[in-house]
Each structure stands twice: as structure tokens, then as C-alpha cells.
Amino acid sequence: MLTIGAPAPDFTLASDTAPTVSLQDFRGKNVILYFYPKDDTPGCTREACDFRDNVNHFTAANTVILGISKDKPTRHQKFRSKYQLPFPLLSDESGDVCSAYGVINKKSLFGNTFLGIQRSTFLIDPTGVIRGIWRKVKVNGHIEEIIATLLQKIG
């Protein structure tokens, strides 16, 4: 299990904005790395739009936002375009990055149990060290928590 102060696992994933995106591409910047279950579902849309609506706070704090789910890049493109999201969405179809960050958990829906992405967010500093972890995220109020932590860590 990843902890605050640990190095963030590096990755290279397919993106909706470029052939691939690597965590290393953002050395020198803070990174908000958020994992979400599925494009264009109610909670995931609300979360993405919260990031979109607060992007100026992140930009002012030298911070980029990266969203990761197991959806294909073409689905990400539609989702990103539909909601005018100003940050890349990355595709972890294999689930390897999700596993490295410990966000794959058992879920239950209509009596069926399956493995899925647990909504989680990581704050990674400019050197690649984890400075904040939120697991089992509830969308309401989450963006405010992230902004407060980011300001505290860099301020």
C-alpha cells in the first residue's frame, strides 16, 4: 500500500490528448492523479467537472491534473469533449497502474461482486513523491479538500 512520502509509481499510458503520457513528463510540477471508475457516469462526471471548474486553482499552484480509468482513449476523447475537460484522461486498460496505486478493490452491484476502480486521488510533488492520498473518495467536498491540502503543502 502506498503511503505519503513514498515515491509515486511511474507509468506511461495511452492518452486522449497524445499517443502516450508518462508521470515523468510532469517532473517540476505538482500532479493531481485521480482514478475514477468510468467515463460519463454521474459521479465520475461530477468529479471531472469539479476539477474542470477549479482548474485555475491548480494552474496557479503549478499543478497538472491527470485522470485515469480503464476506459479506452476513444471513450475518453468523447467524455473530455462533451464536458470540455482541460486535462488529459489516461487509459489503463490492463489495470497495471491501478494495481500499482492500490485502487483496484472488490465492489458489489446488484448482488454481483467484481473488481473495479475505487475512486482515489493522489497529490504528487515536483520530485515524484506522494504528498497526499485520498481513498474511497466521496465527490461532494473532495475538490475543496484537495485544494486546501495543495495550498498547505506548497504554501
Name the nearest CA neighbour of 30 among 129, 97, 100. 129
Catalytic residue among 21, 23, 31, 44: 44
Instruction: Name the phi and psi angles at 98, rounded to 5.
Output: -55, -40
Question: The dihedral of CA 99, 12, 77, 48: what is its sign?
Answer: positive
How far is C-alpha 124 from the geometric centre of its chain's CA atoms?
11
C-alpha span between 66 and 89 (Å, rounded): 6
98 is catalytic: no
Q: How wide is the angle at C-alpha 82 spanned by C-alphas 79 and 87, nearest 5°?
A: 60
The edge-to-edge listing of strands for the beta sheet with 120-124 is 20-22, 12-15, 89-91, 63-69, 30-35, 120-124, 130-134
Active-site positions read: 44
